[in-house]
Amino acid sequence: MLFCTRARFIAAYPSALPLVSMGIVYFFIANVAQEMGAFKLARSSLEKLKTLSLHSNMQRAIDVATLKIRSKKISDDPSLNPKCFVCGLSNGLDKGKTCLHCGTESINCFVSFENLPVAEFWIAEGIEEKEARIVIESEPPLTHNSLNPFDKLRKGEKPRLDKDKLARLDGSRVLISTKIGSFPVRYFFNIIPTISVSMCPECNHIFHSDDYEMHLLSTGKCPFCRFGVKTKGVIIN
């Protein structure tokens, strides 16, 4: 399942990896998906192979896989479908990174490439980045419950928080990226605080804390950018 998840991530961004053969990627997904019981995903991958120019040596194997899939169910095993952490509903394995139900874009761990319980929010216009950080990191008012910025959102609506709402956030559940070049500061909220996540202070990629810390202990570097991290980075408990 791990390697299929990575292959699906590569397939979602073909232009980002121009030297990677998408024919091999889709063929790999089709074969592994059949073994896992993700027959709908396997069919989708085989259909995409028909649109590509492939080496003749691969064509026979693709023809065999296409014949085999005809005897299988038309749906995926429901237990394999990734769940959106915002709305709690499942999405098909072949549906990309955006939730079909609420429109939230999933954030992937850059070790396992599994979905993280993290979603991006935005600050209202007129609030400076430094001011937003101070408000978020301050203690929330005792008279208010901690705010989940993703409650009661309409499909496709982006949570844009003013100062009052920022002040109600539990700062321990917020990740704030650093500004790198032309990339702006971004704000993320951990929807399920019992699942710990970490952000690399150099590349701003987010990971399951266990994966991140294990890689730091074994190599002393970020698993994505290979930056030498002397501390644990940013960890949400």
pLDDT band at 159 (very low <50, low <70, confident <90, very high): very high
Closest among 210, 10, 226, 208 to 110, alpha carbons compared? 208
What are the sequence ranges of the domains in the chain? Answer: 2-80, 118-236
For strands 206-208 and 197-199, give the pairing. Answer: antiparallel
Query: What pLDDT, in 10s, does the model give residues 176-218?
Result: 999 888 889 999 999 999 999 999 999 999 999 999 999 999 9
CB-side neighbour CA atoms (13 Å) of 164: 2
Backbone dihedral angles phi then psi of residue 2, each to the nearest 5 degrees:
-60, -50
Query: What pLDDT, in 10s, does the model give residues 33-89?
Result: 999 899 999 999 999 998 888 888 888 889 999 999 998 888 888 888 889 999 999
